[in-house]
């Protein structure tokens, strides 16, 4: 958390307080932080949603194929095998499904490690822009 600003002292006029805020480094670093947060927020959201969607699809597709194989569901769907191995996955659907499941778990694990690294980097960014040293 940012440290509390130093008490401004005795009450001053309205114009004087505005000038003091404009001279304060904390005002400008906070504005810079807010400007940087817009593109970063978009990137964070896109990475999270796309990463979770791809990993969920990779994990869920073999499970749905397994459910269809055992007759647990009446839902009929086709899988675009050209995306996940082409003819090889058609000749070996079990191996292709296992590879897809493992790929989904790996993507999910990498996504969680990426999120952890982004959080650490964001914390450093916030500390550098929001905490004024010596204040």
Q: How many domains does the chain have?
A: 1
Asked if residue 73 is part of any domain, the answer here is yes
Residue 66 in any domain: the answer is: yes
Is residue 97 assigned to a domain? yes
67 lies in some domain = yes
Q: Encode pLDDT of 30-81 as tens digits.
A: 899 999 999 999 999 999 999 999 999 999 888 887 777 777 776 655 555 5
Query: Which of 21-25, 70-74, 118-122 is the least confident region?
Result: 70-74
Nearest in space to 72 (alpha carbons), one of 81, 64, 84? 64
Average pLDDT over residues 76-90: 52
Q: Percentage of the chain surpassing pLDDT 70? A: 76
The answer to whether 43 touches 49, Cβ cutoff 8 Å, is: no
In 10-132, the DSSP E strands lie at none
Domain that holds residue 108: 37-130
> What does pTM read for this prediction?
0.69
């Amino acid at each position: 958390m940012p440290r509390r600003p130093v008490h401004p002292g005795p009450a001053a006029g309205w114009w004087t307080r505005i000038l003091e805020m404009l001279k304060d480094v904390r005002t400008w670093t906070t504005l810079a932080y807010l400007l940087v947060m817009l593109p970063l927020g978009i990137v964070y959201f896109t990475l999270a949603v796309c990463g979770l969607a791809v990993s969920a699809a990779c994990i869920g597709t073999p499970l749905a194929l397994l459910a269809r194989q055992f007759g647990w569901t009446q839902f009929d769907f086709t899988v675009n095998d050209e995306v996940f191995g082409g003819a090889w996955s058609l000749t070996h659907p079990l191996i292709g499904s296992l590879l897809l499941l493992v790929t989904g778990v790996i993507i999910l694990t990498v996504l969680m490690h990426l999120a952890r690294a982004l959080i650490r980097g964001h914390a450093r960014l916030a500390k550098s822009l929001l905490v004024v040293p010596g204040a």
